[in-house]
Every structure is written in structure tokens, then in C-alpha cells.
A and B are shown apart, each in its own frame.
Chain A
């Protein structure tokens, strides 16, 4: 099954692309997908998504479709054909 992962703000910059399509064996929680994205991506992408313990950084927001999902939510699963967005916080200036 395939899931689209879209990147926003600094996550997009380090990913170097606006989106990827990844293969999953089964519907999966967002944290698991983020770890897979990090494992398949550059060192910079892994560094912005995960902390030194391999856990998703709390300041990175993740959405399934248009709905925010918590990183510790293991019951919301992302299924074939669905899209998640990984978004880093930005500010003013």
C-alpha cells in the first residue's frame, strides 16, 4: 500500500522535495511513518523529524488529511491512498 507524505516549511527544505510516496506493509500510526521517512531520507531530514532517541520531535506537527494527529496516537492509522503532512513551526520577522 502507498501513502503520500507532504512536507512543509523547513521540513520541505531539508527533504529537497514537496512530497514523497512511501510503501507500507499495513495501515500504520504517524510516528511509525515518520521513522520510515527519516530512515529513507537524508541525514538532515532525519535530524529535523526525530530526536537523538529516534522519537518524533514534539515541535513538528503532523496531519492526516487536514486533521492534526498526536505523535503518541497509535490508534489513528494511515491507510492506502491517504496523505500525511509533516510541518515545522515558523515565525515572524
Chain B
């Protein structure tokens, strides 16, 4: 563990002043590693805020190249980068913001094949992926490896966010036991909506890693930015959840 340098204490001074966080919290962020999957509308801003806050190591997983339709919300992508890999653009811009960090660019989306390895590299996962099989793969590995998962989601002018603490809260499979049949890969949304929930997701990660505040454990925060209606809803854990349930059937060897 490398202790905070005087320069780092100067960079993070304003957040070190936050009661309950302090230098101990900042040291925890420096020592932490976070997986952000993917770095689109949500993940770009999550990664930007976590980089600014001084998370020591960020693993960014996202396949593909920058498209014109990314640019209304994917704030780590630029017009000049059209046609180039998203994670390379994200890594470059985060290093410009905070060169003290280790940024690992993985040009892959999360899948059942790579989730165990990528989740195994980090202390916490922020789920910003658009497809439920990706989200379920991350959820399963987070539960099996006991890693917190911040789950961010959006649609139109609405967002939903919860934080899964394995063994303590409902997991994603408790909430959604099946791949939602109505969900589509592409959907209406503003960048300001993804940016709003992304900042909340980054703050959840900072609180969990920094050991202060109250994360959305067992709660689903929902919001409609059309009329600024916020709800903090209580979630139920399923004893028969196939991923985290205490009474789930285990596959025979």
C-alpha cells in the first residue's frame, strides 16, 4: 500500500474535508480497484467521477468503436475519435484528468466467459451495461466473490439505481429472475439523464469504498426527471434466488 503523497493530499483536499471521509477514506480510494462496465453514457461519467476522486485503479470494459450516436451522452468520447476504440478514448481522457491513476482498458464487453476474471481483479463493480445477460453475469460473479455491485440504469427521462452488497441485500437476480422480454438494446435517453444517475453511481462506489454514508443497500432509487419525482423504494430478497438465495437449489456435482 502506497501512502498518500503530499501532492495527492493537495489534489483531493476538498473531499478530504468531508466529515466521515477524511484522509483514511482517501487512502481507501487510492488502494481500491473498480470495474466499470461499459463506458458509454453511464459508464463514461462514472469513470470520470471515480478518476477525479482518486480511485487507484480503474478497469474499463467496453468493446467496439465510437459511433456518431454515442456522442450525445458518452462524455469520454469525442468527435475526433469517431471510428476508434471506445476504451482507448476513455483511457486517454481519464489519464489527462488524473495521471496518478492506473487505467486498464479492456476492449471486451462483460460476458459469462470473462466476468469471473474481470470481477476478480477489482474490489467493486459499477454496472452500466445495456444488456441483461451482461448484467446478470456481473451480478453472479459479484455475489460469488463477495464484491459490491452498484447497478445503474436509465430509460427516457427516468433512472433506477441500487447497490448490491452480497449476502446482505437482494441481488439483481432477486429483482429480475428472467431476461426482461420487452427490453431493447437501443432506447430513448438524454446525456443529462445518464450523467445524473452516473454521478449517483459514482457516489455510491465512493461511499462503499470510503466507508461512510449510507448506500442504497436493499433500496431502489427511482426518478423521473420529467417532473423531478424521486422515490426510494424498499426491495425484497428472494430465498429461492438462483444466485444468492439461501434455499436455492445447488447444481449436483
Contact = CB atoms under 8 A, between A and B. Distances in A.
Q: Give the interface SS of chain B, mostly helix, strand, loop or mixed.
A: mixed
A59 interface: yes
A63 to B, nearest CB: 5
A67 interface: yes
Interface in B40-58: 40-43
Interface residues of A, number: 26
The residue among B38, B176, B178 with the most chain A CB atoms within 10 A of its own CB is B176
B232 A66 contact: yes
B41 A66 contact: no
Interface in A4-48: 8-10, 12-13, 18, 47-48
A90 B236 contact: no
Given A9-B155, A92-B128, A92-B130, A57 B181 contact: yes
A88 B128 contact: no
A9 B158 contact: yes
A89 B153 contact: yes
Contacts of B236: 68-70
Contacts of A88: 180, 182-183
B42 A61 contact: no
Interface residues of B, number: 43
Contact of B182 (A48, A69, A93): A48
Interface of B: 38, 40-43, 127-132, 135, 152-156, 158-160, 175-183, 185-187, 189, 194, 220, 222, 224, 231-236
Given A92-B154, A93-B42, 19 more contacts: A12-B158, A13-B156, A48-B182, A58-B177, A58-B178, A59-B179, A59-B180, A66-B231, A89-B153, A90-B158, A90-B183, A91-B130, A91-B135, A92-B38, A92-B130, A92-B194, A93-B130, A93-B185, A93-B187
